[in-house]
Structure 1
Amino acid sequence: MSARRLVIRNGVTLLALLALFLFLNVTVLSQIQHAVAQVELRSQFTEQLAEGTAPVSEGDFEDVLLTDGDPVARIEIPAIGVDELVVEGTSATVLTKGPGHRRDTNLPGQSGVSVIMGRSAAYGGPFARLQQLEPGDQISVVTGQGEHIYEVIGVRYAGDTAPAAVTAGHGRLILETARGAPFVPSGIVRVDANLVSEVQTPGQRDTLYRSLSPEQKEMAGDTRTVWALVFALQFLIVAEIGAAWSLRRMGRAKTWLVFAPVILLAGLLVADQLTRMLPNLM
């Protein structure tokens, strides 16, 4: 085989591997990652509630700004089988753990508006059935200020009229996810719900919508770790070159034994970084 044909074959093989690893990561491995993250978050948040240290503002009980990915609430929606731990932040990386609370809005249960964003398919797809909610369905959210009950008032899409603005002393919860076929988002669906339990005092928040970083907004990808993608791609390319050399010198059996785990690891690293660059509500 000529050098040109060898390069073309290896390039096609590399692209095929990337597509396979991306598919595997999004449809299978991401679900496992989400499940593991939820177990860890549930344990952490339960401990915080027991100790009375669960956050009630954008800072923790020591007044230190919450890190993206810190647990802030537990949301239950019986009508669609949702029982998830909610984390602070809404970037694609953060939403791999579960639904995320948008930093520029108040926490659930407090007066004003609270926005929670969640994925529709990948990483557990916690909000996959959001569009099935109907007016009157109840949503329970537990925070450091207790349990808060919301009542759904409607589902809306792009172009639909938003409900009247929430008035002083009242609370509203907006749930957001992607609409369209699984893994092929075509827009955003929002569910509006009014707080029907006791309204709590809002905690201090330093983040405003105008200062919200781009990756935290709806349908945005997270490109902050693109450097990690470059290194992962280099790792995969080197592994494939090594496998091609070994195949000629050492034979198929030894090459498979040595390089299969290496290429699998490299491919999954690349796929993980690529997934973070996809829309955060997918």
Structure 2
Amino acid sequence: MVDTATPTPMRDRVDSAKVTRPGIPPLRRGGPPPRRRTSYTLPTRPAVPRQLAPRDARWWIGAAVLVVSMLLIGFVVHATLFSWLQHSRSQDIAFQDLRTSLAKADIPVGQLDVNEDLVALGTPVSLLSIPEIGLTETVVEGSTASVLRTGPGHRRDSVMPGQAGTSVILGRQTTYGGPFRSVGQLVPGDEITITTGQGVHIYTVFGVRRNDDPLPEVLKAGAGRLELITADGLALFPGGALHIDAELTSDVQPTPTKVMTYQALPKDERAMGQDGEAWFAALTALAVFIGAGITLWWLWRSWGRWHTWLIGTPIMLALGVTTADAVMAALPNLI
């Protein structure tokens, strides 16, 4: 049977089904759908952190951290870079002076110079060469902390290399080039060559000892011996002195009369000796550095970070290196 009912219009079908789309309100006859009311919240201004004043404990903690950090950076930069450059420059000058003195034949060969005065501290007196550890250094007279910045120093109470008796040479382990940093690797049989105003002298290593080790046998009359001394232990934290003993295997040269003994040698020229007067300069430099660090921190908190770092960093780096140099001058002479 055929349905003869009148078909329903399409518009009525849609309305009757109430078809809606997600998120869209159903259409209403007679106009557009009503607008949704949305509530807005006005943005609030972020709270500005309170600036710390010098009376706050956190202000001083920040200043202390900045000062200590810059000081450590300056110390590391000086120990690993500037002191090595200073040593290299000093060695170049000392070597040229040594060559000139050898050519003129006026190089000191004893404790007194041509004017019968004690040889001035820092005067080049010999050339030390140890091929086994790749060492070639100009040796200067004296063994204070300031003299050993140039290079290894001949202890003034001992004879010159190549002469009868024990010649003592001290050198730094870590700072200012650390010329003696590898002498502990020497073994019996290694050769040491030293050139002085009396010629070329050859020594043969026969022992390496530390503070608690027994001393070598007493030197026979007319024989020659060399003793190299440096710091022993960790870099910058020595636990004592390291001694390298070597016997003279070349001809013994004439030995001038000694006018200075070990008892008359100042304490700052002995192994691990310190210059007491250098501490005043070190403390003064440290006080200036601390004052500059506090000023830099105050500028950083009140002026601006980029402006402060741009101006303050070079100044603090220079002061840090200067302070580190002054402190090193007051430390034991073999570090």
The Cα shift of 1:249 comes to: 5.4
Which of 120, 131, 140 is residue 193 of structure 2 equivalent to?
140
The Cα shift of 1:16 comes to: 2.2
Output one character per residue of 1:78-137: Cα deviation in whole Å (capped at 9) or x when no partner: 111110011111122221211111111111111111111112222222112212212221
Higher mean alpha-carbon deviation, 131-140 vs 36-45, is at 131-140
Higher mean alpha-carbon deviation, 84-93 vs 154-163, is at 154-163
Please report the TM-score for the alignment, with normalisation by the length of structure 2: 0.78
For residue 83 of structure 2, give the secondary structure of its aligned residue in structure 1.
Answer: helix
Paired residue for 2:109? 56
Which of 301, 308, 320 is residue 255 of structure 1 equivalent to?
308
Aligned residues between the structures = 282
The Cα shift of 1:197 comes to: 1.4
Paired residue for 1:208? 261
- In 2, the alpha carbon distance for the partners of 1:80 and 1:212 equals 30
**Residue type of the partner of 2:320?**
G
Output one character per residue of 1:116-170: Cα deviation in whole Å (capped at 9) or x when no partner: 1112222222112212212221111111111111111221223322222112211
For residue 209 of structure 1, give the secondary structure of its aligned residue in structure 2.
Answer: coil
Could you say what the CA RMSD is over the residues aligned between the two structures, in angstroms?
1.9
**Structure 1 residue ranges (4+ consecutive) displaced by more than 3 angstroms after TM superposition:** 244-250
Is 1:4 aligned with 2:90? Answer: no
1:22–1:274 CA contact under 8 A, matched in 2: no
Higher mean alpha-carbon deviation, 226-235 vs 84-93, is at 226-235
For residue 33 of structure 1, give the secondary structure of its aligned residue in structure 2.
Answer: helix
Is 1:238 aligned with 2:291? Answer: yes
Is 1:161 aligned with 2:209? Answer: no
Bigger-Rg structure (1/2): 2
Structure 2, gaps ≥5 residues long: 1-51
Which of 176, 196, 206 is residue 249 of structure 2 equivalent to?
196
Paired residue for 1:118? 171
- In 2, the alpha carbon distance for the partners of 1:187 and 1:231 equals 28
Output one character per residue of 1:244-267: Cα deviation in whole Å (capped at 9) or x when no partner: 444355433333333322222211
Higher mean alpha-carbon deviation, 53-62 vs 145-154, is at 53-62
Paired residue for 2:71? 18
**Residue type of the partner of 2:261?**
L
Is 1:78 aligned with 2:131? Answer: yes
Please report the TM-score for the alignment, with normalisation by the length of structure 1: 0.92
Which of 202, 222, 230 is residue 149 of structure 1 equivalent to?
202
- In 1, the alpha carbon distance for the partners of 2:71 and 2:278 equals 18
For residue 211 of structure 1, give the secondary structure of its aligned residue in structure 2.
Answer: coil
- In 1, the alpha carbon distance for the partners of 2:275 and 2:70 equals 23
1:57–1:202 CA contact under 8 A, matched in 2: yes
Paired residue for 2:121? 68
- In 1, the alpha carbon distance for the partners of 2:257 and 2:282 equals 36
For residue 89 of structure 2, give the secondary structure of its aligned residue in structure 1.
Answer: helix
Structure with bigger helix share is: 1
Identity of aligned residues (%): 40
For residue 56 of structure 2, give the secondary structure of its aligned residue in structure 1.
Answer: helix
Is 1:128 aligned with 2:181? Answer: yes
Distance 1:180 1:241, change over 3 A: closer
- In 1, the alpha carbon distance for the partners of 2:232 and 2:131 equals 21
Output one character per residue of 1:155-199: Cα deviation in whole Å (capped at 9) or x when no partner: 122332222211221111011112223333222221111111121
2:188–2:207 CA contact under 8 A, matched in 1: yes
Output one character per residue of 1:36-55: Cα deviation in whole Å (capped at 9) or x when no partner: 11111111111111111111
